[in-house]
Structure 1
Amino acid sequence: MSKQSASFPGWDWDDPDRLAGQLDDFSAQVAVCEKLEPVGALPHSRQDFQELGLTGIEFAAFRTAHPEGLGTDLTPLRSPELSSEPGTLYRVDGERSFTQLDIGRPLPFADASVDWVYAEHLIEHVTMPVAVGWLTEARRVLRPGGVLRLTTPDLARYLHGYAADDGFLARHRRRLSMLGFGPPMPQRKAFLVNQIFRYYGHQWIYDLDELRHVLVRAGFAAEDVRHCAYRTGVRADVADLDTPFRTDETVYVEADR
């Protein structure tokens, strides 16, 4: 047994149902900060956001990297003294804004209240009806001329990697192992395709056409949906939120309001 495997006793990658709880516990370890300060009620209107120096929303982010962003997540954010609650705006470590939100419910913001919305590797964690409802709400809170940027694992990349045996799956396995999220995964190609469907709470895996489908269902015009590259988009400050360790498996899409 390797030293890394010994650090995860009882971990069996071939048993996703058993591992679900362990993966949740492992993920919850990142939902912490040193200092969590309640600021007050959430901003509602565009003026509220502007008065707080906020221009957009990053979903699935406990600590957004955007200095003018409001980070949100379903999971409570915890400090040694406090745990977040829905409906309250918080300051995280004196640097960033955060609120606890459920994307399965209507967003508590006014129409046309923000300039941008960003979500990295979130949409695959909810069912398609929830995704369409959330994207409809995201479109509603964007001002005309605003932009939505989504990233998610690319089904086409996985299936091409499997069929062509081009080395993508082996490289991606090594990349995941470097994150320390459990012991190294099995090297079997079928496992590496299955894990993107069966682990991490994933509900639906997208390719470019499937993303276009849900965005159009949410009210975005098909001609306003475009395929982008890593850290390339209509707003550099938003595209720069893309994180580097997911570039090999990710499809990047933007939609204009």
Structure 2
Amino acid sequence: MTKRDAFPGWDWDDPDGLARELDAFSERVAGCEKLEATAESVPYDRDDFLALGLTGIEFAAFRTAHPEGLGTDLAVLRSADGTNASRPGTLYRVDGDRCFTQLDISEPLPFADASVDWVYAEHLIEHVTLPVAVGWLREARRVLRPGGVLRITTPDLARYLNGYVTEDGFLARHRRRLGMLGFGPPMPERKAFLVNQIFRYFGHQWIYDLDELRHVLGLAGFDLAAIRSCGYRQGVRPDVADLDTAFRTDETIYVEADR
């Protein structure tokens, strides 16, 4: 079954319905061959992380590409044979390789103060409301060690609005890129639709430019002088910056904040 076949009732004029479709799809694909519980000791502290060879956290990732990263997601991760499923509060080894824990970023993180060196989240913050985003960033700052770094990426509102006004080709390229994902029929070509979808589709709740990111990071307690805009796969920690996905560079803003 192709991704298009998985969404026979796809309707671009019903963003809330499509959000439900995509949530259900995420639940169906949240699987692995083997899921083994490794620790259950909330809140996990620095020693717990180091014992598992972990130095940081990647949010919204069932299987982080960082060899020293803990992947997290809201959805339940299930083993292929159906005998095991993740539950909040437990750390798991996925397929004998990466580590994972299930959590909700609208709630306090199950980690001790100053427990990790880095935090990474790609295209996550736009999926929650502004108060939830500030609360999560405050928690991310809490669990970072002094000298640690937070790196977040998100769609850049300025890129969309500039593309709408100047007709520089961005919206057309963006439409083609999203079509490569294979979800549903071709996206409409209307300029207004292509701007609206960044606000209304895929569960998006709040869209940012650099100033808006600086605003929420400041509310979360980060020093405004320690917040910087970065390039794709460019940052203070190359191993963390390398987690950036090439597929999204056309629309993405990359921001880091030091603890």
Residue 79 (1) aligns with residue 79 (2): yes
Q: CA deviation at 1:223?
A: 0.4
The answer to whether the 8 Å contact 1:4/1:183 transfers is: no
Which of the residues 247, 250, 258 maps onto 1:248?
250
Match of 2:39 in 1: 40
The answer to whether the 8 Å contact 1:8/1:183 transfers is: no
* Mapped partners of 2:243, 2:29: distance in 1: 18
Match of 2:26 in 1: 27
The answer to whether the 8 Å contact 1:5/1:184 transfers is: no
* Mapped partners of 2:4, 2:53: distance in 1: 46
Residue 130 (1) aligns with residue 132 (2): yes
Q: CA deviation at 1:213?
A: 0.2
Residue by residue over 1:32-82, the C-alpha shift from the partner in whole angstroms, topping out at 9 and shown as x without a partner, is 112111112157221221111100000000000000000001111112222
The residue type paired with residue 122 of structure 1 is L
Q: CA RMSD in A?
A: 1.6
Change beyond 3 A, Cα 1:100–1:171? same
1:1-257 matched pairs, under 5 angstroms = 8-42=7-41, 44-80=44-80, 81=82, 82-257=84-259
Q: CA deviation at 1:172?
A: 0.7
* Mapped partners of 1:168, 1:194: distance in 2: 14
The residue type paired with residue 40 of structure 1 is A
TM-score normalised by L of structure 2: 0.94
* Mapped partners of 2:74, 2:116: distance in 1: 20
Q: Secondary structure, in 3 states, of the residue corresponding to 1:248?
A: coil
Structure 1 segments (4+ residues) deviating >3 Å: 3-8
Q: Secondary structure, in 3 states, of the residue corresponding to 2:44?
A: coil
Aligned-pair identity (%) = 78
Aligned pair count reads 255
Change beyond 3 A, Cα 1:47–1:18? closer
The residue type paired with residue 15 of structure 1 is D
Q: CA deviation at 1:231?
A: 0.2
Q: CA deviation at 1:7?
A: 6.5
The answer to whether the 8 Å contact 2:3/2:183 transfers is: no
The answer to whether the 8 Å contact 1:5/1:183 transfers is: yes
Deviates more, 1:107-116 or 1:4-13: 4-13
Residue by residue over 1:3-48, the C-alpha shift from the partner in whole angstroms, topping out at 9 and shown as x without a partner, is 9967742211012133232222223333111211111215722122
* Mapped partners of 1:214, 1:118: distance in 2: 16
* Mapped partners of 1:144, 1:8: distance in 2: 46
Change beyond 3 A, Cα 1:161–1:26? same
* Mapped partners of 2:107, 2:134: distance in 1: 12
The answer to whether the 8 Å contact 1:66/1:241 transfers is: yes
The answer to whether the 8 Å contact 2:118/2:148 transfers is: yes
TM-score normalised by L of structure 1: 0.95
* Mapped partners of 1:102, 1:18: distance in 2: 22
